Amino acid sequence: MWKGWVNGILGLWLIIAAFLKFSATAVLWDNLIVGIIVGIIGILMIKEKPWQGWLGTIVGILLIIAAFIKSLQTGAGYLWTDLILGVLAAIAGFGALGKAKESNS
């Protein structure tokens, strides 16, 4: 259950961070750190909720890759990348919460 919460919170962070004005270096570190965390959580979720685990892993890998794409480090590219990946991470995280509640009932 904690994996769903963490993934959902990270997704919300990505959505909020898309509107903050970071320097290119801060964007790099933000995407690297969040990408690694989301990727690890995605791998941990694979056993319990396969599609959400794979989605989280893929989103994490995309964030890590996006951190090194110069055109995505500032401006609209950064905004849209983080918004889309944030929404996907949030959906996967909160989707995991819904499945956890169903299995506990």
Model pLDDT for residues 54-66, shown as the tens digit of each residue? 888 888 888 778 7
Which tens digit of pLDDT belongs to each residue from 24-54? Answer: 778 778 878 888 888 888 887 777 777 777 8
Q: Is the dihedral of CA 77, 12, 67, 88 positive or negative?
A: negative
Among 29, 3, 21, CA closest to 96: 3
| Pair 42, 60: CB distance under 8 Å | yes
What tokens does 91 get?
């959906």
Pairwise CA distance, residues 105 & 88, whole Å = 26
Q: What is the DSSP string of 86-103?
A: HHHHHHHHHHHHHHHHHH
The SS3 assignment for 20 reads: coil
Residue with tokens 């990727």: 39
Predicted TM-score of the model (pTM): 0.66
Q: Lowest mean pLDDT: which of 7-11, 44-48, 83-87, 99-103?
A: 99-103
Domain ranges of the chain: 2-104
